[in-house]
Chain A
């Protein structure tokens, strides 16, 4: 499967503090990669480095698709609170999605904000790769199901996904590969990579093993 976005030797440091280093990761078409890591492990920084919002301290990122065909969603808190849901949807989806809600985004519940941001981003048909940061956060069961089904459909249609989440049970039912960001290093384990139906217990076991390893 062709990598749409590929990082080689990626590192990010803030002063003496290393967030991650030596990160090699390919985000491939027709694949959903789950990015797993503890609080403060650097998942958000890694996603924002991959799309160029944060400058890498070392390494490089190669994008093999046209500009404007990689999308990112950083969570409901990254939506501007003062503009209407309708305006945001129209702007971000480039007219691919419609929303009749004229309320300012700050008036929406946490889950509704999350759903609004995700639906605007995922509606864009021309997008080839989606980088989603904690996309299940705040979603109710219907929203969670919609997100997983939409991601599966878009993956089957040829899209690539890199999805960070704490919610291992959501990742476990969806991802084709798992990348663990632990102690500033990224491990994409072959044993997990090839398993299509990894359970939550398996993910927890791998995560714990990585945390305990020197």
Chain B
């Protein structure tokens, strides 16, 4: 009996939005072109990938599951950890691909592995902006978590709340080490800056911890979820 692969199923049934995949491909191609012209010129592209990935990974799960679209895979696999992780992997794959392509271009141009995409803050940012929107969107509509996150970011920027901490992080490298919780808050509120700055280990650990917590909560929501059809009397 041939098995139904959850990765293959989700890639076919609920792939990330084509337009976002196309934007990520354009960004990655642009980064490669920039690195060919001028080594290190593509660092800002990572911030753009962060923004797009926040939306791309907000794929939603329950909405499709309660319409019955996932019935075959739920029946074949059960709503287990493997199924949830497969959904996560498919949701974040285009962003990870664009990030990796940009990083490889940076490595080749710089002839060094220590480039923004592949340094610890870069990986932490990628995990953060992949795990949180994915987990937050498990029970809500596609893109809603990404839109909410960017709305909060924009509101904080416009209100000026972030300006002080951001300039402190830029001007005083020790600020984040002295205020690790506030630094984690700044990173969460404005994740676009994470790859381009130097962060102390506790702050990077904080980003990883928050990401893993979000991922676990997302997986738990799927594992414990129930999938009545949306027209049923819930």
Contact = CB atoms under 8 A, between A and B. Distances in A.
Contacts of B78: 52, 67
Contacts of B233: 14, 17, 19, 40, 42, 45
B76 A68 contact: yes
A104 B12 CA distance: 12
A94 B2 CA distance: 6
A55 B227 CA distance: 9
Contacts of B9: 91
Contact of A54 (B4, B69, B226): B226
Given A51-B75, A53-B71, A87-B12, A78 B229 contact: yes
Interface residues of B, number: 26
A44 interface: yes
B87 interface: no
A78 B1 contact: no
A78 B3 CA distance: 21
Given A45-B228, A48-B227, A74-B68, A80 B13 contact: yes
A92 interface: yes
B179 to A, nearest CB: 44
Contact of A80 (B2, B4, B64, B74): B64
Nearest to A47: B229
A44 to B, nearest CB: 6
Contacts of B228: 45, 48, 53-54
B234 interface: yes
6 contacts: A68-B3, A68-B75, A78-B68, A78-B229, A79-B68, A80-B64
Interface of A: 14, 17, 19, 40, 42, 44-45, 48, 51-55, 67-75, 77-80, 83, 87, 91-92, 94-95, 126
